Each structure stands twice: as structure tokens, then as C-alpha cells.
Structure 1
Amino acid sequence: MAITSRRARLGAGIALATTAALLLTSCAGDSAPSGDGDAADAAAATSVADFGTFADLEAAAKEEGQLNVIALPRDWANYGEILDLFASTYPEITINEQSPDVSSAEEIQAAETNKGLDTAPDVFDLGLSVALESTDVFAPYKVQTWDDIPDALKEPSGLFVGDYGGYMSIGYDSSKFDEPTSLDDLTGADFKGAVAINGDPTQAGAAFAAVGLATVQQGGELDDFQSGIDYFSELQKAGNFLKVDPTPATVASGETPVVFDWDYLNAAYSKDVKDWKVTVLPGVGYAGYYNQAINKDAPNPAAARLWQEFLYSDEVQNLYLKGGARPARMEAMTEAGTIDADLAAALPEVPSETVVPTEKQSADAGTLLGEKWAAAIQ
């Protein structure tokens, strides 16, 4: 969802989930589906019970025959294996993998631009700040494993639900750089033109979290991201900040040799760079989950709901874990004995003190970043 000051292991990922204090009760909104017949029935479904049985949901999705996903890079949280498993499980359903590298905000834009077309995304995978701003685009749905998901990770009506998460980390090419043990290290001359973040923090969840990490590491509070913005402004003035979005290609080529990103994404770069290492800084850790949501105007509403059921199954939750991310159902699966114990034990240790922004903190930070970020890194 790697480490220097390794004080406490998230043995089952429980601490990450339980520190998430998302105040989501005010987010629910009405989203009346349009259309008629079977498609309208599927678009109005809020659980499997509305289809009758799970087999009825599968049949409806197979009848549609398509699933449009967006912003799912195959090297992100093991999505390649997850997508391939869905395709082999449901060969009757063609998966259309659209724009894998766009931001959370661009996912919503794609839904609005393609509304009413069969090319519109059926489902979303979103950072929290964008999810909070976009509830009018979502259809509520509760998967069969709903009760296993911590309340702190789900909007009460099912408009959006946390699925997998991790800690903000720093990945680096250890053949070129010493392990950074503080943010101050990255402002030094040794890191000239070397430090990148994953996207624009006004649009992308990982980049937003990088500023959040800088905020708390600088002694600031999540109520005010200004100290984090100031840090990246300092990094820019030092000539160390790279305005390049990291990808496996930029990491492999050395173009982005130091990257702020989620620990599970940074860990994946070790496939491309032999000496790539990942650290979660000592002190306060910043954690976050990505969220699943269904487009209320999904062209394939049954397939969208089947995809959600699939993602929250034991098998796929373990596939997120295989990708180094901490699945939302990890605590319940650990108690039930369905978690992959070897993969869980292999998770890196993390700081004992962890913060996750609340709804209000995320919204306020998004507003502040919109006002201040561009000028700070000019």
C-alpha cells in the first residue's frame, strides 16, 4: 500500500485500517439511474440481493459482455494479475483497459466527457480527496463482504469504499544515493535534480499524500498542508525537485532516481532497478487507501457490480497483498484464516505513529493546494 525507524509491524495491516478516521456520513447523495428494463434494474442495484442471487448477477454481467476500467496500470498494486484473473474467470466479458496512467481527477473527467456513450468508464479507482468531491457521479453498492470492511474505510451507503492502501515512502537508487533518513536530506546537493513525486497533488492521490507526508514530517498538522507545500517549494528552489511523473521507464532509465510514492508502488520499481530500495521515514507515517466506486451512468452496470464483488473477494484481496498493498478486508481475513499468511508476514515494518486525513482535512488540503501549489513550484 520499507523503512528506517522500524518500531512496529502491521502484522495484518490492522493498524493502517483502524487509524483511518474518515467522517463520511455526510457524503451520501441521491443518484437516480436513467433508462429502463434490465439495464435500469442493474443500474439501480445496491447489492446482490437486487439481482436475486450472485449467479443472477454473473449472468447479467455476461449478457452485457463488456467492462470498462480506467486508471489501472498493470504494475500498480498487482492490477495486471487481477485483471487477468477476471478475464480468465469471466471470458464472456471483455475488459476494456482505458487510459491506465491518468489521475483520479481525470477518471471523473472521462466519465463526464463520455456520459451516455458505451465508452464511459464503468468503475473508478480513486484517491480519497477526489472521491470526496465526486459523490454525485457514483452509484451506491454494498458488496457481499461489506461487513468485513472497517467502517472507517467506507461511505455508509456504499458510494465509495476503500480497497487497498499503504504508506507514503521514498524509493531511491541505492547505487547513486545514500538512504535518506529525513526530508532535510533530500534538499542537499547530493540530490540535485533527482526527486520526483507521482503526479500533481491537486489531481493525484499519491502526490497529494507526498505533500501530506512532508507536512507531518515537518511538524505540521493535517489541518493545514502549508508546511508541506513550503517543503516542496524549498526543494524546487534548491534545484532538486523534478517535474516529471515517475514511471517504470523513467525509473529504469535513471530519469527519476528518487521517488515519493506509496510503498507498494515504490517496491515494484525494484523489478526495473537492481539497487532500488524503499524507506518509510522515521517519525510520523502517512497512510492512505484508494477507493472503489461505480459510475452511476455506467454503460455496463451489472459488470461494474460484478467487478466490485470480485475485488473484495478473498482471492483478489490476497492479490493486492501479493502486490505489497494492504487490503481493506485484511483484519477480517486474518481472523477468518483466509489471508495469505506468508505474504502478510512479508509486509515491511512501519512507524508506530500513523496519520490518515479525515474528510474535512482532505477537502481543506485540496482547496489549499489548488490555491498555492502551482506558485510554490514555479
Structure 2
Amino acid sequence: MNIRLNLVATTSLVALLSVSAASAQTMEELIEGAKAEGMLTTIALPHDWCGYGDIIASFKAKYPFLTVNELNPDAGSADELEAIRANKDNKGPQAPDVIDIGLSFGPQSKAEGLVQPYKVSVWDEIPDAVKDADGYYYGAYYGVMSFAVNTDLVDNVPTEWEDLLKPEYAGQVALAGDPRASNQAILGVLSAGMARGAAAGTASGEAGLQFFKELNAAGNFVPVIAKAGTLAQGTTPIMVMWDYNALAARDTLAGNPPVEVTVPTKGTLAGVYVQAISAYAPHPNAAKLWMEHIFSDEGQNGYVKGYCHTARFNTMVAQGKVPQDLLDALPPAEPYEKAYFPTVEEQDANKNAVVSGWDSVVGANVQ
């Protein structure tokens, strides 16, 4: 897939019919149905992640008849799928309507029957490489893996994965998630493995686990889920996370402490997040309105404002739909030109290696 770049990139009768029916609804019908439902339940959408705070606010302004019920903002992709499983017979407020998950979790959600198909009105503008042909999940945005560094505490900012093993970084390096459940953390391990020359997939997972085993043995790894607060407090002076999260943390802290964001030139990795509607959504019409909103010009520009590159980025730029101030605020293009977009199969193989091997190989209980 290449969004800012130029990326090359057994269904039942009931499912086929639902695709057709879902796509055939008009906006007026969706709005009327959503009014009757009165609520949308999201999960795992921190307000400082990819501009979601403003995106949710604009959705509320557009559809004031809907209450947005936000579940567990810090959940990982695996947690989102578990929330659907655990609440499939529950139509109450703990049942998510929509999910935002790493690309490798898309096929799993479809195979388990956890999501339902819906093709948004701009379906043709979403690159084929990041969407399920039947509409079960579809990519909204991507970023690249980076290091966010508290320069009050770190004199020499690391620029490559191998730098993190240096003794000067003792007790300073953390992942922004649990690598047994978080897509962001799992792909952080993939990036580390690729930096050591491993091919994306099982090999990158195994090489990445070995890297983190060494990092942990050296005393450099901190088994804490890193975020802006832990960066500022000094608990995790070096955070491994998506560039848009790192840049948002920098902005949130506003120089107290100063934060520098770097993208490693070895193992430069891009990660796509996909959207889907729960097969058991209590509010299916509201869920579809949400999908239409986040893929609209307004929603896509909300992601860009949050430093993300989006599914419709190239098309919207060509049409003059992305404000120049948003384009000017994006990081330099060079890291994105080098970034590798792993396939669904490569991500899935890496995920299996990391999730199954983290405890036995690394042995650090991240929480």
C-alpha cells in the first residue's frame, strides 16, 4: 500500500446479501435509523491518537441526536476483538459498535465472524491493498514507527534501533503497548527485527524478540506502557510508538519537557489501521454514519490534523481538499518514502511469532 506514496499494492449468501443491503442504504435512511438508536459506542480511541478528539467532536456536532459512548481508550487491537466476543449477546453500553484495529487483525475479525460488511460511499478511493474486497474492514490511516525522546533526560537522542542497546539508555526504553495484545507494540517488534535484516513475517518476529531479549537483559527496557504522561514523568524517557502519537505527545507537553521525534532509517516501518463494524453492533445505523464521517473529507482531514496519512490522502490532495496548513504541519516526506508496508500475511506471521513468543523469549510483563 502507498497512500502518501504510490503503493503497489468463503462468503455465505447471507453475508453477500448483507453487503448489498448495507451499501444500498441512503444517508437519509441511516440518519433516521441512527436517530432511533440514539447512541454510538466506540472503543480504543484515545483523543490524542491520530486526531480522534476533534474527529469525535465533529461527529457529535454533525449528529447531535447521538450520544457517543467511549469505551476503554487505551485498549489494544486484541482487546477490541475480545470486547466483541464478550458482549455478543449483550446490547448494553459495554458492547462496541465500531473498532479501529491493526491491519493484521482484520482477517482474524472476519474469519471469526466478529464484524459485518459495509462499504462507505467513497469505497473506490480506498486502496485495494488495505481493504477487504467484501467490505468487512478497510484502512483509514497509517503512520511510521518512531522514537519519542524526552531530551531533558536523554542527552544523545537515539536514531537507530541498535542505539537503544547502549548502556547510556539504562531504564529508559519502553513500548507504547503490551506486545501480546497491542498492534502498535507488535509492529514495534517487527520494525526492530527488520532493522537487523530479517524479512517481514515470522523471521522479523523472531529477530525482534531477540532484540528485546537483549534490551531487557541489558536493563534498558522498561515494562510499562508508554504514553505522554510517563514520558514527562521520566518513567519512560524513550518511547517506541507511531509517529503521529509521538508528535501528539510532543504537542501535548508543549516543551515541558522538550520532546524530539526520530524515525529510524533501518527497519523503517509503516502501519495501517483498519475500521470495522461489529457483527453484533447494538447501533448499526449509527456505526455506518460513523464510517461515513471518518472517510468523509472532514474526517480524513481530522486524521491529517492528527499527523496521520490517510486512505484518501493522494486523491484529496490532487483535488485540493487538504488545507495547506495541514500539509505544512506534516513531518518531512523522506521517512515515508523509505517505509516498508508489510502485507497482511507478513503482519499476521509476525504477530503470531511475537504474541506466542514474548513471554518465553523476552519475559517482561508489560503493563
Q: Which residue of 2 aligns with 1:145?
A: 122
Residue type of the alignment partner of 2:69: N
Aligned mate of 1:18, from 7, 29, 36: 7
User: What is the one-letter code of the residue matched to 1:76?
Assistant: W
In 1: Cα distance, 2:317 partner to 2:267 partner: 26
Whole-angstrom CA distance in 1 between matches of 2:13 and 2:162: 47
* Deviation for aligned residue 1:86: 0.9
Aligned to 1:168: 145
Kept in 2: contact 1:194–1:240 (CA 8 A):
yes
Residue 234 of structure 2 is matched in structure 1 by: 254
Contact map agreement 1:172 1:179 (CA 8 A) in 2: yes
Aligned residue runs from structure 1 range 28-43, under 5 A: 29-30=11-12, 32=14
Contact 1:283-1:353 at 8 Å conserved across structures: no
**Percent of aligned pairs sharing the same letter:** 36
Partner of 1:5: none
| 1:70 corresponds to 2:43 | yes
| Structure 2: distance between partners of 1:61 and 1:366 | 36
State the alpha-carbon separation in 2 of the partners of residues 79 and 111 from structure 1: 21
2:103–2:130 CA contact under 8 A, matched in 1 = no
Cα–Cα, structure 1 residues 199 and 46, in superposed 2: closer, same or farther, change >3 Å? farther
8 A contact 2:44–2:72 mirrored in 1: yes
Cα distance 1:312–1:231, how it changes in 2: closer, same or farther (>3 A)? same
Residues 192 and 292 (structure 1 numbering): CA distance in 2 closer, same or farther, change over 3 Å? same
Distance 1:96 1:168, change over 3 A: same
> Are 2:225 and 1:245 equivalent residues in the alignment?
yes
- CA distance in 1 between counterparts of 2:80 and 2:318 reads 35
Structure with the larger RCO, 1 or 2 (CA within 8 Å, 6+ apart): 1
Match of 1:365 in 2: 350
SS of the residue aligned with 1:222? coil
SS for the counterpart of 1:285 is coil
Match of 2:168?
190
What TM-score, normalized by structure 1, do the two folds share? 0.88
Give yes or no for contact 1:48–1:144 (8 Å, CA) kept in 2: no
1:133 matched to 2:108? The reply is yes
Aligned to 2:68: 95
**Aligned match for 1:158, one of 125, 128, 135:** 135
Partner in structure 2 of residue 215 of structure 1: 193
1:353 and 2:338 matched: yes
Compute the displacement of 1:45 (Å).
5.8
How far does residue 346 in structure 1 lie from its aligned partner after superposition?
2.6
Cα-Cα RMSD: 1.9
Q: Whole-Å Cα distance in 1 between the matches of residues 231 and 190 of structure 2?
A: 23
Q: Which amino acid in 2 is paired with 1:73? A: P
In structure 2, how many angstroms separate the alpha carbons of the residues matched to 1:304 and 1:288?
24
Q: Which residue of 1 aligns with 2:297?
A: 314
Q: Which moved more, 1:175-184 or 1:122-131?
A: 175-184
Q: Could you tell me how far apart the structure 1 residues matched to 2:323 and 2:212 are?
A: 38
Displacement over 3 Å in runs of 4+ = 28-33, 43-49
What is the aligned counterpart of 1:116 among 79, 83, 89? 89
Structure 1 unaligned blocks of 5 or more: 1-9, 22-27, 34-42
Deviation of the 1:31 alpha carbon = 8.8
Matched, 1:50 2:24: yes
TM-score by length of 2: 0.90
SS at match of 2:345: helix
Judge conservation of contact 1:285–1:354 (CA < 8 Å) in 2: yes
User: Number of residues paired by the alignment?
Assistant: 349
Cα offset, 1:363, TM superposition: 1.8
Residue 48 of structure 1 and its aligned partner are, at CA, apart by: 6.2
Tell me how far apart the structure 2 counterparts of residues 210 and 50 of structure 1 sit (CA, whole Å). 39
CA contact (8 A) 2:151 2:257 kept: no
AA partner of residue 129 (structure 1): S
- 8 A Cα contact 2:228 2:249, kept in partner: yes
Question: Distance between the aligned counterparts of 1:246 and 1:283, measured in 2?
Answer: 22
